Amino acid sequence: MQDILKRAELLRIGIVDAIDKLHLLELESELAGLQIEIQEPDFWSNNLKAQETMKQVSRLEGRVRPWRELEKIIFDVIELAEANEASLLDDLEAQLGEAEKQYDALKAELKFSGPYDDMDAILSIHAGAGGTDAQDWVQMLMRMYVRYAEAHGFTVATVDESPGEEAGLKSITLEMSGPFAYGKLKGEHGVHRLVRLSPFNSDNLRQTSFAKVEVLPKIDKPDVLVIDDKDLKIDVFRSGGHGGQSVNTTDSAVRVTHLPTNIVIVIQNERSQIQNKETAMTILRSKLAQLQIEQHQESLRDIKGPNQSAEWGNQIRSYVLHPYKQVKDLRSRHETSDAEGVLDGNLAPFIDAYLEHSLGE
């Protein structure tokens, strides 16, 4: 019985620590507020808002309930083990073994304990140093992330894109929706370096190209992160298409500038100015939230604009296709010689290694 008691106590400590790291008390408080909202007589008068609220309730219950149920099981096991009844030994052993299995399964959530980790993600890729090769590299990275997303049950939507002059893309922004999309993809944020024989010069020389990947939590609700209207400059203009032709004849494209940080968001994908403005504001809120996390600032006014450039010395991961094949993450040190597999979407080992590395830190 003493062995069971010792194992149960160790498990209890692990569960309590996990509940603290996952901020379950805050999640329970948020859940309680939403449950009160659901009881309001006019709750279903706005069907779309009600459905979104019910989705939030389901998400929060899914995070809170398993941990609280596990906590109750382990407290019951400890209480019965302390009674030292020999007849309960086999039952307690079975309960404890099951609790340990549940804990190991739930422990993966500790990798997603950040404030926005369970949100959808906005992933943007921008060509850096390397000319046409860099723009082709953007398209290769886009394909890699889309393949990863499809393999993991995410849905992908293109928010905005800018084609390259000769090949590839100057930039592209994707919205990725799925369980813990931001938590899983946030480690991709940074500069990615490609080394290969260039298909874009006649001498077929080795070329190094860079692209910057930006991963943001999708914050589409204004109350999650409030931006002062006085800090915004909003311009509208006519959308431009390939070769300079006009996409439409109305001023539907929107440019939103956040004056304190000088962050500029331009969206022209939709035909509606309202839709483009909403999309631009979602990306701006998401970008400010990401910077707030990185710079440890409580106030938006204390945030500085981003300044990391996509060039040599800033990369987080290198993809070498010549003279040998290797993909290596410079933070977790995870590497593989299966470069084609990685570029075909097999990113999970790199994502898991980064999350483990972050937990260690």
CATH number at residue 98: 1.20.58.410
Two structure tokens written together for 279: 């999309």
Its sign, for the CA torsion 295, 300, 303, 307, is positive
| Same structural domain, 100 and 196 | no
* Beta-carbon-side half-sphere exposure of residue 125 (alpha carbons within 13 Å): 28
Domain region containing 353: 121-218+332-360
More confident residue, 313 or 94: 94
**Domain boundary, last residue among 62, 87, 112:** 112
Please report, for residues 62, 182, 250, the alpha-carbon distance to residue 292 in angstroms, rounded to integers and kept in the order given. Answer: 27, 15, 36
> Is it the case that residue 336 has pLDDT exceeding 60?
yes
| Same structural domain, 61 and 158 | no
Q: Are 13 and 74 in contact (CB under 8 A)?
A: no
CA angle in degrees (0–180, nearest 5) for 162-308-144? 50
Going by pLDDT thresholds of 50, 70 and 90, the confidence category of residue 243 is very low
Q: Are 338 and 346 in contact (CB under 8 A)?
A: yes
**Domain boundary, last residue among 88, 112, 136:** 112
| Same structural domain, 102 and 16 | yes
pLDDT of residue 300: 63
**pLDDT digits 0-9 by tens, 109-139:** 778 877 788 888 999 999 998 889 999 999 9
| Same structural domain, 76 and 210 | no
Q: In 173-311, where does DSSP find H-type helix?
A: 181-185, 273-295
> Is it the case that residue 98 has pLDDT exceeding 70?
yes
> What CATH number does the domain containing 350 carry?
3.30.70.1660
Report yes or no on 153 lying in a domain: yes
Place of tokens 């997603």: 112
Coil vs helix vs strand at 164: coil
Share of the chain above pLDDT 70, in %: 90
Please state the φ and ψ torsions of residue 191, each to the nearest 5 degrees. -95, 130
Going by pLDDT thresholds of 50, 70 and 90, the confidence category of residue 52 is confident
Share of the chain above pLDDT 90, in %: 48
DSSP state string for 121-152: EEEEEEE-SSHHHHHHHHHHHHHHHHHHHHHT
> Is it the case that residue 246 has pLDDT exceeding 50?
no
| Amino acid at site 178 | G
- Model confidence, pTM: 0.73
| Rounded distance between C-alpha atoms, residue 86 and residue 89, angstroms | 5
| Same structural domain, 338 and 207 | yes
| Rounded distance between C-alpha atoms, residue 6 and residue 74, angstroms | 12
Report yes or no on 299 lying in a domain: no
In whole angstroms, what separates CA 348 from the centre of its chain? Answer: 14
| Same structural domain, 106 and 80 | yes
Going by pLDDT thresholds of 50, 70 and 90, the confidence category of residue 175 is very high
Going by pLDDT thresholds of 50, 70 and 90, the confidence category of residue 60 is confident
CA angle in degrees (0–180, nearest 5) for 162-166-168? 50
| Same structural domain, 99 and 138 | no
More confident residue, 236 or 269: 236
pLDDT of residue 112: 84
CA-based end-to-end distance of the chain: 36
| Same structural domain, 172 and 213 | yes
Please report, for residues 7, 152, 311, the alpha-carbon distance to residue 110 in angstroms, rounded to integers and kept in the order given. Answer: 21, 19, 33
* Beta-carbon-side half-sphere exposure of residue 109 (alpha carbons within 13 Å): 22
pLDDT of residue 361: 60
Two structure tokens written together for 343: 């570029």
| Same structural domain, 202 and 337 | yes
Select from 9, 17, 22, 352 the least CA-distant residue to 187.
352
Report yes or no on 88 lying in a domain: yes
Average pLDDT in the 74-102 region? 89
**Domain boundary, last residue among 112, 146, 176:** 112
| Same structural domain, 11 and 31 | yes
Q: Are 282 and 221 in contact (CB under 8 A)?
A: no
Report yes or no on 163 lying in a domain: yes
Number of domains the chain is built from:
2
Q: In the chain, where does DSSP find H-type helix?
A: 2-21, 24-38, 47-83, 89-106, 131-151, 181-185, 273-295, 339-343, 348-360
| Rounded distance between C-alpha atoms, residue 109 and residue 180, angstroms | 9
Q: Are 174 and 156 in contact (CB under 8 A)?
A: yes
pLDDT of residue 250: 60
